[in-house]
Amino acid sequence: MEFILKHEKRLSRPITASTNGEFADPLLAQYDFFKSELSSDELNRYLEATHKRKVILIVGIYSGSTAANIGLQPGDRILSVNGEPIFSPQYTMSQINTVPPGVVIPIEIRRPGSTSSETLYIPGGRLGIEAQLQSWQ
């Protein structure tokens, strides 16, 4: 935890550009920094302890969409995409939208009333959902 606090303090200032020179969200830059420095288990513990880990609650599914075709339902919670925890909706959607054609990625979901998660596989592109971002619970 000392490592995290020391480096989080260092990142408390706004970050306006990523390493490739593109403008970046300060939270995404912070996430990328910790992702490079921590194991995946440590990163998950950090995100949960600081209340930065999120879930995407599906509130609606568009008819004929990718989400409808793979069996997502209103009330499902997306816990991770391509093995990455939900940190920011922009980051999560970029994970989905940058998948090359013909490639599928795993999403971990939890159905309403369930205590366990399941994995579905989705192609890249628009999911076709209405969603809300919620804190990890």
Instruction: Examine the fold and report which residue of 33, 49, 65 is the final residue of a domain before the chain moves on.
Output: 49
Regarding beta strands 129-135 and 118-123, do their DSSP bridges make them parallel or antiparallel, or are they unpaired? unpaired
One-letter-per-residue 3-state SS of 21-63? CCECCHHHHHHHHHHHHCCHHHHHHHHHHCCCCEEEEEEEECC
Per-residue model confidence (pLDDT) at position 100: 83
30 and 70 co-located in one domain? no
**One domain, residues 9 and 75:** no
Do 99 and 58 reside in the same domain of the chain? yes
Same-domain status, 130 and 68: yes
pLDDT of residue 137: 63
87: containing domain: 54-135
Structural domain count, the chain: 2
pLDDT in tens, 14-68: 434 444 445 456 666 777 777 788 887 887 777 777 777 788 899 999 999 989 9
Whether residue 129 sits in one domain with residue 79: yes
Within this chain, do residues 117 and 73 fall inside the same structural domain, yes or no? yes
Same domain as 64, residue 22: no
